[in-house]
Structure 1
Amino acid sequence: MNARRTPWWHAAIAMVLGLGAGAGVAILGESSGTTLIGTPWFVPVALGVIGVIALVLAVNVHQYAATDPKKRPKTFVNPSVAFNTLVLCKAMILAGAALAGWYGGQIIPTITHIEGSFYEQAVLQCAVTAAVCLADMVIGFVGEWLCKLPPTEGPENPKMKEQQRQSGLAGAAAKTTR
């Protein structure tokens, strides 16, 4: 299986959509008189813990994949753990971007009311959570890169391409000397 890297513009689109949705919900909340902005403090903590776990798993997969197969330690890394780590990192890219846009979008319309203690607290909560979501997005990109496997001894491997080129040149030289 060959997994492709997540393009940066997917994260940009998710962030713009989240920004629009977050701003729309904040404006709707202001016009209706309900409190739809802000986030509990456990949300950035939980998102930060998930980001750290994903980074540790990605580093572990990278260390396992980068060592010589004969010298690999007997760790908990197996193909399903590596695949699930890659999927987690890909999900963190998109979810981190969308949630950063969501919480950043809530800040934009409410920043004009920051003198009120409720809005001050809500803007602080949204800013901290948006920063953690951005960090999760970056961790997702880094983790996705760390989960990249080195080429196998198949035809994609640079060593094999060089050997094929060398054998092709040797075969051509043998034909011309006859």
Structure 2
Amino acid sequence: MRARRTPWWQFVAAIALGLLAGVGVAAWAERYGQSLIGAPWFVSAIFAALGVLVLVLAIQVHKYATTDPKRRPHTFINPTRALYTLVLAKALGLAGAALAGYYLGQILMSLAHAEADYYSQAILECAVAAVICVADMVIGIVGEWLCQLPPTEGPEHPKLKAERQRRGVAPATAKLRAKHE
């Protein structure tokens, strides 16, 4: 399986969509008198715990993938577990971006009413949640990087390419083509 890094524009799009959703929900709640803004404290705690969990798993995968096979500890990281860690990191990064935008949108819509206790409490809750979500987005991006496998020692390895160029040796297929022309 070949996994690719999440492009930067997907994080920007997630933040923008989250911002629109947060503004929309806050406007709807204000118009109809609903209490939909804010974020309970346990939600922020869960987001923080998820970020720490993904970071710990990604560090374990990175440590295992970059250690020399002869010197690896006896613990074995299942490839499925490594893949799930990568998927978790990708999901955490995109969800963190979308939720950060969502909470920022709620903050923007609530600033006009900041003098009221309800809105000031909601702004504080959303600010804490937004900071944690931004941290989760960063952890997701870093976790994706940590889950990269180092290049194998095949013909495409950067060390071998540089060595061939230094010696002026072309790959075997290029030599064969030159002989047949």
Length-normalised TM-score, structure 1: 0.90
The correspondence of residues 8-157 of structure 1 with structure 2, limited to 5 A, is 8-157=8-157
Aligned equivalents of 2:143 and 2:171: distance in 1? 43
**Closer, same or farther in 2 for the Cα pair 1:137/1:40, shift >3 Å?**
same
Whether the aligned pair in 1 keeps the contact of 2:96 and 2:134 (CA below 8 Å) is yes
- Partners of 2:84 and 2:91 in 1: how far apart? 10
Structure 2: runs of 5 or more not aligned: 173-181
| Cα-to-partner distance string for 1:42-77 (whole Å, 9 max, x where unaligned) | 001000000001001111111111110111112252
Q: CA RMSD in A?
A: 2.2
1:165 and 1:115 map into 2 onto residues whose CA distance is 68
Percent sequence identity is 59
What do the CA deviations read for 1:101-131 (whole angstroms, capped 9, x no partner)?
0111011111111111111111100110011
- Counterpart Cα distance in 2 of 1:124 and 1:107: 9
The 5 A counterparts of 1:154-173 are 154-162=154-162, 169=169
Matched to 2:55, the amino acid is L
Runs of 4+ in 1 over 6 A off after TM superposition: none
Q: Residue 49 of structure 1 aligns to which amino acid in structure 2?
A: A
Q: Deviations over 1:122-167 (max 9, x none)?
A: 1100110011000000000001111111011223212343565678
Aligned to 2:177: none
Q: Please give the alpha-carbon distance, in whole angstroms, between the structure 2 residues aligned to 1:41 and 1:2.
A: 38
Q: What count of residue pairs does the alignment treat as equivalent?
A: 173
Change (3 A) 1:170 1:21: closer
Mapped to 1, the partners of 2:120 and 2:143 lie a distance apart of 34
Instruction: Provide the rounded CA distance (Å) in 1 between the counterparts of 2:36 and 2:137.
Output: 24
Alpha-carbon distance in 1 for matches of 2:65, 2:171: 35
* Cα pair distance change 1:80/1:171, threshold 3 Å: closer
CA contact (8 A) 2:89 2:140 kept: yes
Q: Secondary structure at the match of 2:9?
A: helix
Over 3 Å counting, the alpha-carbon distance change for 1:112 and 1:68 in structure 2 is same
User: What TM-score, normalized by structure 2, do the two folds share?
Assistant: 0.88
